[in-house]
Structure 1
């Protein structure tokens, strides 16, 4: 896991304000309220809203402006340094997967083997595999046309096919690194990435089954609609099937970084000797940077060259993959700056002090904080980053497993009840041609199920591990 030395030093320093708990609590509420107002009422970009909200938080807490600026910039820099390269590598891998036709090959191969009642399970499998290297919004754009085509050609209820696909994407986004939210939470809480990934998979599998194929039965009854005609034309940008990469090679490339990180986690558990040669090797190849870099390099051959891409075409694909993530990097970085401002103002310690009298388990407290920020801001990533900053002191003294579960509890909370202040809500509504009420009864309820069920399995694991 990447070590954020700047953040560590800042967190260990004296608070930048001497405000009491009441003033700090008011400052936090005011800062978050300002961010919500700027994003929802004034339609301000989340990067600017988080920046202004961080500075306002410092002012409301009575901190000197220069120290607030220092905290924000240190948090922004440390966060981008820790996860920026990983986000970029994930974007490149996702673009290679889409442009080469590898994603289409996965979809077509699985759908050719799935019929009737097996179709929802096939859709959740497709979404989960493709969702590993892709951002949520990119995954939706990639999968929704396929969902609509499958629903139309097979005469399925759109919700019966669509909900499993959305559940697969959402669970990957909220719980599984290398997605930005989980990565930042892992850094903030100094959790072990491999252990978090392994436990995240254990939580994700039953959660996506319940929120996807099982819930889709009820969603299809509540909202029985057909695929919109205007969006059911087949995509034509990817190569034809004869020039696509093979199914096995595509899946192996997508899963390569996950396998490398899991191998590192297993060796760390079994060997637990930093002087051991095997552990030294797995520490290198299983680090997120090397694992994702290896997948990108392998993908250039197994995906790009297999699809007939020239060196120039590969270069263009990489270049086009990086431009769209500029906004993501800025939002994630500003979220890290907001988180560091919370930490340096002493808000994390305030939460720690108050939680002692609340007698609320740390995992539940972390989930509740993430839920509150998710409902307020509409962003799962912002909720994860901010909640991680608030509960960071709770991770002190925790075991490796407990810290990993704390990350997953935050991730589960960040997915709770998507509604009108979430861009994903409107994306799903428009693609599926639903009303606001129909979107709430399907998409919003599904997100809530993921959040609650995910927390349930996290608490269950905490009892047995």
Structure 2
């Protein structure tokens, strides 16, 4: 769908958006109304307030909901299945034990973050988080303390790589619109993303984890298990549908292979899209389209789940019916996560189609400030107003493209502008961002706590990236 012609001025639209966010927080945090119901209700009220024709409102609501649900539901379902198989067969414990033995307990959060930086290079934020979740939870269970200490370094690493570095679609699109080199943007973006992760995520997560205790959630993977996949009850002699006692846990190499496999497949799609955008690869070639199919996130995760069933579960579980029961058990708890995340996309979609982005863009097109500061400010305001980081990235790039062309900038300077735009599109993730709800539900945090942790960390990550890019801009 296309955005409507705004019925109100920019100031009025911003007030409506602010009022909608305030109403949503009031319903959830004060009245304790379920987040899914609250998000749908506020989406309807907002659609009426901004002036959508009543007959179009159902389609408007489905725009954001269906788009988000389509990308999240399959990803989360297959990701949780894979995570459950890793957990019940002892694979996650094997990986966690190896990680801890190599890096030590004190450096475990840092090791998780570094691993996520490497894994996050070709894989999208949400896919990486889903695949990595069992390892995060297993390490956190082993050492105790606040989940934030272990979860934020890894989640923040995926967020940093996804937002700032090619071959991810946001920075690739921004570099293309601004006429820059995708290769230079990658070479500049990766070190800035690493520095911004350490300052804005790693150090901040230590501070947040020491002050806010988040218990290890049981909703996704059930009770803690030992390396043979047994619950405490099973260790005491009870029987269940999980990995049978006595079976040896999988090897570290097998577990690592299963984690790397979807990343390799997904990288096919990501790299091919990047090559097509850069003009290196001609669009429409059959072999490239087939690799793109294998690399689409749902297909890649489905194939990995099938491999996990064959290589992990069947040698350690007595029958295929028990494997199916285990997978079925993993799906029930994620219904709420999927629906709430979809409803968050619905709310963001209403704001996107309301025309607030276009109205805000028109008023920000000539701010009379340094180009890199202008890029960051515009992206930040668009991100806060309508929630979508992708929209903020692409819209900001289009707005400043003319000024960038007139300034005759080199590839290095353009790459710094791409980082500044990505930084602005990262900060202040809140209730109109579907990613906010994904993190909130995966980590078992209520909305207030998510604002105090995830929103703060996303902001420090984005600001850190902008400060590094701004400092380099002054030097060159």
The answer to whether the superposition gives a TM-score over 0.5 is: yes
Q: Distance in 1 between matches of 2:363 and 2:132?
A: 35
Instruction: Decide whether aligned partners of structure 1 residues 304 and 278 sit closer, same or farther in structure 2, where only a CA change above 3 A counts.
Output: same
- What is the TM-score normalised by the length of structure 2? 0.66
| Equivalent residue for 2:142, pick from 135, 146, 164 | 146
1:322 aligns with 2:331: yes
- 2:155 equivalent in structure 1: 170
1:41 aligns with 2:30: yes
Please list the CA deviations of residues 237-283 of structure 1 after superposition, one character each: whole Å capped at 9, or x if unmatched: 66269622211111121122222222333345555112445423322
Q: Distance in 2 between matches of 1:94 and 1:368?
A: 37
State the secondary structure of the residue aligned to 1:236: coil
- What is the TM-score normalised by the length of structure 1? 0.68
State the secondary structure of the residue aligned to 2:363: helix
Superposition pairs of residues 132-211 of structure 1, within 5 angstroms: 132-134=128-130, 141-148=137-144, 165-172=150-157, 174-175=159-160, 205-210=194-199
State the secondary structure of the residue aligned to 2:365: helix
Structure 1: state its 5+ residue gaps. 1-9, 149-157, 179-184, 229-233, 374-382, 430-435
Q: Distance in 2 between matches of 1:165 and 1:268?
A: 32
* Equivalent residues of 2:96, 2:138 under 8 A apart: no
Superposition pairs of residues 34-433 of structure 1, within 5 angstroms: 34-115=23-104, 119=108, 121-125=110-114, 132-134=128-130, 141-148=137-144, 165-172=150-157, 174-175=159-160, 205-210=194-199, 235-236=224-225, 239=228, 243-269=248-274, 271-308=280-317, 310-358=319-367, 361-370=374-383, 372=384, 384-385=387-388, 388=390, 393-394=395-396, 409-414=424-429
Q: Distance in 2 between matches of 1:260 and 1:217?
A: 33
Q: Distance in 1 between matches of 2:160 and 2:430?
A: 9
State the secondary structure of the residue aligned to 1:18: coil
**Bigger CA drift: 239-248 or 199-208?**
199-208
RMSD: 4.9
Structure 2: state its 5+ residue gaps. 121-126, 164-168, 177-181, 217-222, 230-245, 402-413
- 1:153 equivalent in structure 2: none
Q: Between Structure 1 and Structure 2, which shows a larger proportion of helix residues?
A: 1
Q: Distance in 2 between matches of 1:89 and 1:404?
A: 32
* Equivalent residues of 2:153, 2:205 under 8 A apart: no
